[in-house]
Structure 1
Amino acid sequence: MITYGHELYIKQAIESVLMQETNFDFELFIADDCSPDKTPEVVESILNNHPQAFRIKYHRHKKNIGMKANGLYALDQCLGKYIAFCEGDDYWTDPHKLQKQVDFLENNTNYSICWTKYLIKQESQNLLPLEKPDWISHIEKDKNFHIDLNNIFAPYCTYTLTAVLRRNMLDFTILRKLKHSKDNSIYALCLSKGNGMLMDFYSSAYRVHGGGIFSGASIYKQKFYSYLNLKEIILKVPDCDNDNIRSIRNHLLKESIKFCPNRYSFDYLNLIWDFAVCFGFKKSLKLVVNKLKNGK
């Protein structure tokens, strides 16, 4: 569990992990990236009062090191056979989540990672019921959904808060070299060595709020950072240069150019160069000319 500024949410996140009913031992490692609010006080209160607090290992960095570095630090501390994720502003809803997913991986050794369905909690609409994500209608109802490198991200249903993976699938040498790593980088590493499964049950709630790192970002930043992430995955993660991932990378490239707020910026020029490499210089020149004509 990585956290930063989750004072309002982290108690529910922690308690949703500690409520898990399993026939195996587990621990919760919390990596706090020097939260500027009362997140440490909330965690300390749980450490001092919760009957399952012995399962928690808590580390608070003395200075902010950034989400990528904090995530890698947290992964390094995980010693179990399996790793599960729950960021400090999300929470699990099923007390048997871990048991179901670990049982699946134990019984299906050709699978390296599994996810589940989840619901969305709009924090600004607190009194409304949890929502189903849009992608639910794009998968077959009441069945597990197989995921591999040829269909991952189509639809995008692999959210971090539901993932459970085999620790030995992670290549930390590669992870540490990635400049734009996200959860997708971890998924790609796992799927380069085995299959994935979206299991047919709802286990978690994904919280959407203004302070969220991704959900609170502008459309441009969401598209741009996702593009950089997939571009890097194709270049640096084994077996990931395929039609599926290239197609999604190309879509994100076009969207990044479309939503870029400053066509004179260094990022915009790099995007145009990448467009030329992917689609040819004639198409790139035509794109630039059209944008200049339209004043966009």
Structure 2
Amino acid sequence: MDELVSIITPVYNSEKYIGETIKSVLSQTHQNWEMLITDDCSKDNTAEVIKQIIDPRIKYFKLEKNSGAAIARNRALEKAQGRYIAFLDADDMWKSEKLEKQLAFMVKNSIGFSFSGYEILRDGGNKVISVPNSLNYSQFMKNTIIGTLTVMINTDVVGEVRLVNVKKDHDSMTWAKLLREGNVAYGLNESLAYYRKVVGSISNDKLLAAKSHWNNCREIERLSIPRCMYYFFFYILNALKKHYL
């Protein structure tokens, strides 16, 4: 199995962690990949760190102006050559067998959209996030369990993928869109990645994330207030379980 996997990585002021992120890709047992890194106008030494790592599979692009992670990801997706697409943020890491195991899981079961378990890096010991066998639209809207760093998509099955262009929560809204269109997300319940909680990041601001999720459910998904309230109750409950229990 020698499928090309296109890895989508947006970066912004990521000099502290991007080197480790790239090294986790270089260590993959599945070596047929391309890593498309889109720089959203970083003001630090992110570009220098990336350019020090010489590998023709690593492709670096820089946006003309700061535009947000959704546009950065979409720019990379426009250039992707693989029919399999994977996502990895600039402060996260993969375990070495991530691509190999997830690709085998998808091929064996003819899956178009998959995600896996992962570990949250934190003081006092990592927390392993387990995932269900599958999620449909309604199940996903009540949960926060799909980690973007674990998502892999077969575009031959799902079709062309573009991130929903909203400033915050764009990844969740993209998975919601794919599921609303009739796709099912299948979970590989094995920890294959490391999620780093970075102080000050959008994803680590849980109150802001919750507010954005509510607004997007109303404005992007156009759900009624009662339906939003129903989903949001479970969304908050599951978020608390994932991050604090």
Give 1:186's aligned residue: 174
For residues 56-205 of structure 1, the aligned pairs below 5 Å read 56-93=58-95, 95-109=96-110, 111-122=111-122, 125=123, 128-133=124-129, 136=130, 145-168=133-156, 169-170=158-159, 175=164, 182-191=170-179, 192-205=181-194
Are positions 1:231 and 2:203 aligned together? no
Structure 1 residues 202 and 252: CA distance shift in structure 2, 3 A: closer
**CA-CA distance at 1:153 after TM superposition:** 4.3
**Residue 21 of structure 1: CA displacement?**
1.3
Aligned counterparts of 2:83 and 2:117: Cα–Cα separation in 1: 23
Aligned residues of 1:230 and 1:249 also touching (Cα < 8 A): no
1:9 pairs with 2:17: yes
Structure 1 spans left out of the alignment, 5+ residues: 48-52, 254-296
The 3 A distance-change label for structure 1 pair 180 and 36 is closer
Q: CA deviation at 1:117?
A: 0.7
Structure 1 residues 54 and 179, CA gap change in structure 2 (3 angstroms): closer
CA contact (8 A) 1:149 1:245 kept: no
Q: Distance in 2 between matches of 1:225 and 1:86?
A: 21
The residue that corresponds to 1:247 in the other structure is 230
More strand by share: 2
The list of structure 1 runs, each at least 4 consecutive aligned residues, that deviate by more than 3 angstroms after superposition, is 170-176, 178-181, 243-246, 249-253
Between the aligned residues of both structures, percent identity stands at: 26
For the structure 1 residues 211 and 43, does the alpha-carbon distance in structure 2 shift closer, same or farther, using more than 3 Å as the test? farther
3-state secondary structure, aligned to 1:209 = coil
Counterpart contact for 2:119–2:128, Cα < 8 Å? yes
Amino acid at match of 1:132: V
Question: Displacement of 1:131 after TM fit?
Answer: 2.0
Deviation per CA, 1:150-190, whole angstroms, max 9, x where unpaired? 311444210100110122525568946x6766111221233
Q: Tell me which residue corresponds to 2:49.
A: 42
d(CA) in 1 for partners of 2:86, 2:10 = 12
Aligned CA RMSD, in angstroms, stands at: 2.8
- Note closer, same or farther for the CA distance 1:69–1:174 as it changes in structure 2 (3 Å cut): closer
Read off the aligned partner of 1:79 and give its amino acid letter: Q
Provide the C-alpha distance between the structure 1 equivalents of 2:78 and 2:185, rounded to a whole number of angstroms. 22
Deviation at 1:194, TM superposition (A): 2.3
Q: TM-score, normalised by structure 2?
A: 0.80
Change (3 A) 1:250 1:117: closer
Counting matched residue pairs gives 225
Runs of 5+ in structure 2 lacking a partner?
Answer: 1-8, 237-245
Please name the residue that 1:292 is paired with: none
- 1:29, distance to aligned residue in structure 2 (A): 0.5
Post-superposition offset of 1:210: 1.2
Question: How far apart are the structure 2 equivalents of 1:100 and 1:148?
Answer: 23
Tell me by how many angstroms 1:202 deviates: 0.5
TM-score between both structures, scaled by the size of structure 1: 0.67
**Partner letter of residue 99 of structure 2?**
L
Compared CA separation, residues 179 and 28, structure 1 to 2 (3 A):
closer
Q: Distance in 2 between matches of 1:163 and 1:97?
A: 11
Aligned-pair distance for 1:246?
6.7
Q: Which has the higher helix share?
A: 1
Secondary structure of the 2:221 match is helix
Q: Closer, same or farther in 2 for the Cα pair 1:171/1:227, shift >3 Å?
A: farther
